[in-house]
A and B are shown apart, each in its own frame.
Chain A
Amino acid sequence: MWTYTFRRLGLAILTLWLASTLVFMVVLFIPGDPVATILGMDANPDVAEKLRHDLGLDRPPLERYFSWLAGVATGDLGTSIRYGISVGGLILKSLTLTLPIVLLSLMLATVIAVPLGILAARRAGGALDFAASLFALLGLALPSFWVGLMFIYLFAVNLGWLPSNGFPQKGWADPLNALKYLALPVLTIGLARSALLTRMVRGSLLEVLSQDYVRTARGKGLSERVVVNKHALKNAALPVVTVLGLEFAQLLIAAVVVEQVFGLPGLGSLALTGIQARDYPLVQGVVLVLAMFIVALNLVVDLLYGYLDPRVSYG
């Protein structure tokens, strides 16, 4: 068990290193330089040269790569070219917006998907099951940014119930108000993900229900309700928990796009600004943090799975 954990951890770190190196290389190939973007139409060759030197952009790529890597190893993601302050600080700040969106969306998705999935599985083939399947198909097919637009039109423009865009100045100092601004984005992402999750819950439960011990339980004359609630659910929960972990990563990505719809200054906006401004340290930082979330969640899910399911053995 311990050897497996360590091996798995080592692999995760190797993966992260590879991913970040890949990003560093890709970013090197992005044409244009940040100095031109900063100076704009005012560009004067001497001033540009000085700025390029101050930003360390005249150093060879390999040297930049190693100093960046050394920084990352000590938890320093460097200084943003566009903002002139620490990339880590910028990312932490944007996470105070993106993480709540992701967590709330995940909660919403779970609250909808688990009961719906159970109901659909219990009456597999019925009308409700069909509706749940349809819901799942729609959730997969509707583009989130469009759903967000429609919500803005309905709830903000027409009904005027909720703000359409942005995040209040006071931020989380006034949590209720802040939540009002997150309502539409969370609804947009949460509904979409719940569609997918419903499908998973249903599938997972159906599989368990077809297994021998459930048949035995039924054979003993237990009511369907007891069979489902006492026996099947517990076992069906395992894959669902796994999915929830992976879902978190998907939600982060969904948030990147949906943040744009609602003008929220989260991780997504940071990534886009970074790319547009050719702010190399910022882009690398954001991508690394996202990759870290994904790799870490994969790792946790893997380990948790083994821990929860005695059938999984480690070789």
Chain B
Amino acid sequence: MDNTLSVPAPKRRSSLGKLSPSFRVGGVIVLLVVLAALASLARPLQDPNRANFGKQFAPPSAEFWLGTDQLGRDLASRLLAGAHNALYVGLIAVGIGLVLGSLLGILAGYLGGWLDQIVMLGLEALYALPALLLALLLAAVFGPGAFSSMVAIGVAAVPAFARLARAGVLAVKAQPYVEAAQALGATSSRIMFRHVLPNILGPLIVQASLAFAGAILAEAALSYLGLGTQPPTASWGRMLREAQSYLAAGLSPYPSIWPGLAIALTVLGFNLMGDGLRDRLDPRAKT
């Protein structure tokens, strides 16, 4: 659960069968979350930051669909604003990990030699640092905020992408058609982008989907620890942080319940999508 940034090793079999209804279920969940976040941008239910003093800790009602928090803010609106925040942070973080990681991996794998050795050793060192801890440190460097979360989570996701890309390159490199292209005098960059990249795209996309789930969990964890997204931006993790003391004091459970469910649902969606995608795209996973 908190290996949030590292992603489980690709498994060989989908647990839900070959036709991957998991992809469809996951896709629908992700689509719903994305649509809800977009819709709330276009036409919010209420201003997620508007305080309604005197209506704090309200239970769900017609006015406040999911109740209100300690400042009487509408939890439903904040939840949607939180979705927007989570998707945004996730997108940038995964983007950083994917681009940096694949570049490093492809270069290391294709060029080989001492460059490969150095890159792999560096990644090994990065791997020895727990991703969450690395993210904590980076968040401290850049100061608390969504920006540092993105960078921190993104950098922490680099090794997984790089390994995958490198492994893919090594496999492709040994293929006869690449050798043929080389023999025909194709340049390195041409070979990489025309022949190597398309072949490793599948596993990378699968990894991106799973990393997205990890990034959302990591953003929530960082925000929960007080190092991620800061007020007034609504973040699921920070909502939980703030709600905790009120929950423990028995004041109201609602502010603690919804953000957790939202995180779980979104992560579930991305995980299912990743699982399903793997069955479709990752040739090595075929049984």
Q: Which A residues are closer than 8 A to B by beta carbons? A: 11, 14-16, 18-19, 22-23, 26-27, 29-31, 129, 133, 136-147, 149-150, 152-153, 156-157, 164-165, 189, 192-193, 196, 199, 202-203, 206-207, 249-250, 252-254, 256-258, 260-261, 271-272, 275, 283, 287, 290-291, 294-295, 298
| Nearest-CB residue, chain A, relative to B14 | A133
- Given known contacts A18-B125, A139-B1, A250-B2, what 5 new A-B pairs fall within 8 Å (CB)? A30-B140, A140-B8, A146-B264, A192-B1, A253-B132
- Decide if A295 touches B225 in the complex (CB within 8 Å): no
Measured CA separation A165–B225 after assembly (Å): 16
- Decide if B141 touches A26 in the complex (CB within 8 Å): yes
- Decide if B1 touches A150 in the complex (CB within 8 Å): no
User: Of A22, A23, A143, A252, which contacts B1 at CB under 8 A?
Assistant: A143
- Decide if A22 touches B129 in the complex (CB within 8 Å): yes
Measured CA separation A236–B224 after assembly (Å): 38
Known A15-B124, A260-B224, A272-B136; contact A29-B141, beta-carbon cutoff 8 A:
yes
- Decide if A146 touches B263 in the complex (CB within 8 Å): yes
Contacts of A287 in B (CB 8 A): 129, 133, 137
Contacts of B220 in A (CB 8 A): 143, 145
Asked if B250 lies at the interface with its beta carbon under 8 angstroms from chain A, I say yes
Asked if B281 lies at the interface with its beta carbon under 8 angstroms from chain A, I say no
- Decide if A290 touches B132 in the complex (CB within 8 Å): no
- Decide if A203 touches B2 in the complex (CB within 8 Å): no
- Decide if A206 touches B13 in the complex (CB within 8 Å): yes
Asked if B244 lies at the interface with its beta carbon under 8 angstroms from chain A, I say yes
- Decide if A22 touches B130 in the complex (CB within 8 Å): no
Measured CA separation A171–B248 after assembly (Å): 23
Contacts of B2 in A (CB 8 A): 144, 192, 250, 253-254, 256-258
Per-position 1/0 for B197-225, Cβ under 8 A of A: 00000000000000001000100110011
Tell me the minimal C-beta distance from B104 to chain A in angstroms.
15
Measured CA separation A193–B1 after assembly (Å): 7
Measured CA separation A254–B133 after assembly (Å): 11
Measured CA separation A31–B144 after assembly (Å): 11
Measured CA separation A287–B225 after assembly (Å): 17
- Decide if B264 touches A143 in the complex (CB within 8 Å): yes
Contacts of A153 in B (CB 8 A): 247-248, 253, 256
- Decide if A272 touches B225 in the complex (CB within 8 Å): yes
Contacts of B13 in A (CB 8 A): 203, 206
User: Of B6, B124, B221, B256, which contacts A149 at CB under 8 A?
Assistant: B256
User: Of A157, A192, A290, which contacts B130 at CB under 8 A?
Assistant: A290
Asked if B11 lies at the interface with its beta carbon under 8 angstroms from chain A, I say yes
Contacts of B16 in A (CB 8 A): 133
User: Of A144, A290, A298, which contacts B133 at CB under 8 A?
Assistant: A290
| Nearest-CB residue, chain A, relative to B131 | A253
Measured CA separation A19–B126 after assembly (Å): 6
Measured CA separation A14–B123 after assembly (Å): 12
Q: Report 25 cross-chain contacts, Cβ distance below 8 Å, ordered by A residue.
A: A15-B125, A15-B128, A23-B129, A138-B264, A141-B268, A142-B263, A143-B1, A143-B240, A143-B264, A146-B260, A147-B1, A153-B247, A153-B256, A156-B248, A157-B248, A157-B250, A206-B13, A250-B6, A253-B132, A254-B3, A256-B133, A257-B221, A271-B136, A272-B225, A275-B140
Known A18-B125, A149-B244, A257-B224; contact A199-B11, beta-carbon cutoff 8 A:
yes
Per-position 1/0 for B249-285, Cβ under 8 A of A: 0100100110110011101100110000000000000
Asked if B143 lies at the interface with its beta carbon under 8 angstroms from chain A, I say yes
| Nearest-CB residue, chain B, relative to A258 | B2
- Decide if B141 touches A30 in the complex (CB within 8 Å): yes
- Decide if B12 touches A203 in the complex (CB within 8 Å): yes
Contacts of B250 in A (CB 8 A): 157
| Nearest-CB residue, chain B, relative to A256 | B132
Measured CA separation A196–B7 after assembly (Å): 12
- Decide if B240 touches A18 in the complex (CB within 8 Å): no
- Decide if B267 touches A141 in the complex (CB within 8 Å): yes
- Decide if A14 touches B121 in the complex (CB within 8 Å): yes
Asked if B15 lies at the interface with its beta carbon under 8 angstroms from chain A, I say yes
Measured CA separation A256–B135 after assembly (Å): 13
Measured CA separation A206–B287 after assembly (Å): 12
User: Of A137, A144, A157, A193, which contacts B247 at CB under 8 A?
Assistant: A157
Contacts of A199 in B (CB 8 A): 11, 15
Q: For chain B residues 110-134, which have a beta carbon within 8 Å of chain A?
A: 121-122, 124-126, 128-133
Which A-B residue pairs are the 6 nearest by beta carbons? A146-B260, A18-B125, A254-B2, A141-B268, A192-B1, A141-B267
Measured CA separation A146–B129 after assembly (Å): 24
- Decide if B260 touches A149 in the complex (CB within 8 Å): yes
Measured CA separation A29–B152 after assembly (Å): 14
Asked if B138 lies at the interface with its beta carbon under 8 angstroms from chain A, I say yes
Measured CA separation A254–B4 after assembly (Å): 9
Tell me the minimal C-beta distance from A143 to chain B in angstroms.
5
Measured CA separation A11–B117 after assembly (Å): 12
Known A146-B260, A287-B129; contact A261-B141, beta-carbon cutoff 8 A:
no
Tell me the minimal C-beta distance from A10 to chain B in angstroms.
12
Measured CA separation A206–B11 after assembly (Å): 12
Measured CA separation A138–B15 after assembly (Å): 13
Per-position 1/0 for B221-236, Cβ under 8 A of A: 1001100000000000
Contacts of A257 in B (CB 8 A): 2, 132, 221, 224-225
Contacts of B133 in A (CB 8 A): 253, 256, 271, 287, 290
